[in-house]
Amino acid sequence: MKTLYFITSNKGKVREATEKLRTLGFSVVQKDLGYPEVQADSLEEVAQQGIEHVRAKFHQAFMLEDAGLFIDALQGFPGVYSKYVFFTIGLPGILRLLQGVENRKAVFRSVYAYSEPGKKPVIVTGECKGMISNEQRGEHGFGYDPLFIPKGAEKTFGEMTIEEKNQFSHRAKALEKLITELNTLS
């Protein structure tokens, strides 16, 4: 098994990545080093800044991930500010912002970044289109999962098991791209 350090404080992200990477011979080890999530125009910029910060103090191969929920009716809000918005107004706040709004289309985007000492970082993206439910549903997952219904499903991510979620998930799609890149680097 190859060890892959995942720079995150989010145990939910670690569970999802571990589930996906275990079958491919990777052992995921959570490393909560923290990095500033700069206010930027794109998730890729946030990931790039994160790589630079972590590289300065951690000299092994690692990955990090940043994601955002982009809601059509709110012109892409909360987007790159998803974490801040989640901890500020939470799911009830998002539902209040969408009260009476018919267009509930949204997209979850994820960016995985992989870094090895002395090599150019690899940055990949994934997305999952769907809609925001009218109420919180489900106890699984984390973050916005109880509000997001992926296209082609009737359940929210919060009502799905990790295996079910990984069939749709923006993170799973980005992680699959990262795995392809890792296999070409080996």
**What CATH number does residue 128 fall under?**
3.90.950.10
- Tokens encoding 62: 């690692």
Query: Per-residue pLDDT averaged across 170-176, rounded?
Result: 90
Rounded to a whole number of angstroms, the distance between the first and last alpha carbons of the chain is 13
Query: Per-residue pLDDT averaged across 107-126, rounded?
Result: 94
CA distance 17 to 13: 6
Q: Classify strands 78-79 and 105-115 as parallel, antiparallel or unpaired.
A: unpaired
DSSP 180: H
Q: How far is CA 16 from CA 50, 104, 131, 171, in A?
A: 20, 26, 21, 8
- Tokens encoding 54: 């972590």
pLDDT tens digit sequence for 29-52: 999 987 777 778 899 999 999 999
What was the pLDDT predicted at 16?
83
Residues in the chain: 186
Collapse the DSSP code of 44 into the 3-class scheme (helix H, G, I; strand E, B; otherwise coil) and give the result: helix
Active site residue 32: no
What was the pLDDT predicted at 35?
77
Question: 64 forms bridges with which residues in the sheet?
Answer: 113
Residue 78 makes CB contacts below 8 A (sequence gap 6+) with 68, 69, 70, 71, 84, 85, 86, 94
CA distance 174 to 186: 19
Which listed residue (32, 66, 72, 145) is catalytic?
Answer: 66
Question: What residue numbers bound the domain in which 122 lies?
Answer: 2-185
| pLDDT band at 4; cut points 50, 70, 90 | confident
| pLDDT band at 186; cut points 50, 70, 90 | low
How many domains does the chain divide into? 1
pLDDT tens digit sequence for 60-91: 989 999 999 999 999 999 999 998 999 999 99
